[in-house]
Amino acid sequence: MRQQLVRIMEDQGITDQRVLEAIRMVPRHYFLDSAFEERAYENRAFPIEAAQTISHPYTVAFQSQLLEVLPGDKILEIGTGSGYQACILAYMGAKVYSIERQEALYNITSELLPRIGFRQIRTLFGDGYKGAPRFAPFDKIIVTAGATEVPKTLLSQLAIHGKMVIPMGDDDQQKMIRYTRDSVKSFRKEEFGAFSFVPFLKGVNKGN
Ligand code: SAH
């Protein structure tokens, strides 16, 4: 089923072989509620705890491809959610730090990821708008919730030549944006296709 999913990704234009290999190797059913387990390899989003969603495999693949991940990259993810995207990046050889604002999801992934073999992912509970200054700068930053404004704090935590991929728009639809930091003060902006994400919210939600 994973092989079939990889073929769908290829048909939709994913060409980065390491992204495709990660989709092939990371079992998506680990990240889904048991009610949806049997449908884990459909190319669609599913609900997870705390009224959030695990992104479409195509969205995960597309964002991962735009990041141009190199083995050893230090990557900050905003929106751990199910933990699936973080595992895809870790499988590609990145050192991943992932922040989640829903405590329930943070608790679940903090237990799940080491159990399924992804000990190298550092999960953090907090407001992603603030980034993770303790661990900055990052080679890459990926935001997996839809933003209405450019989070300047995140751009400031990007290494020179680093890239940030972030969906930006209103509540219903976002464009995928990639910023590349060319120097301390200059950022290049590129725009890609339309996607639909849950909103990038400020603050944290404590409790299970
Ligand atoms: N990357 C996830 C996608 C989860 S959906 C996956 O692979 O499953 C987006 C997630 O972003 C949600 O869990 C939501 O709670 C989280 N989120 C939204 N705003 C946030 C913020 N300010 N800081 C951290 N996480 C945030």
10-37, pLDDT tens digit by residue?
999 999 999 999 999 999 999 998 889 8
**pLDDT given at position 208:** 65
Does 68 sit in the ligand 1 pocket, CB within 6 Å?
no
Reported as a single tens digit per residue, the pLDDT across 156-167 is 999 999 999 999
Both tokens of 135, joined, read: 């661990």
CATH classification (class only), 2-195:
alpha beta
**pLDDT given at position 207:** 83
List Cα–Cα distances, 67 to 95, 134, 135, 166, in angstroms: 14, 22, 19, 10
Which of 31, 141, 120, 122 is closest to 78 using CA atoms? 141
Q: Is 43 helix (H, G, I), strand (E, B) or coil?
A: coil
Which of 55, 14, 69 is closest to 192 using CA atoms? 14
Choice from 78, 91, 112 to test ligand 1 binding pocket (greatest atom count within 8 A of CB): 78
pLDDT class for 140, splitting at 50, 70, 90?
very high
- Judged against a pLDDT cut of 90, whether residue 105 lies above it is answered with yes
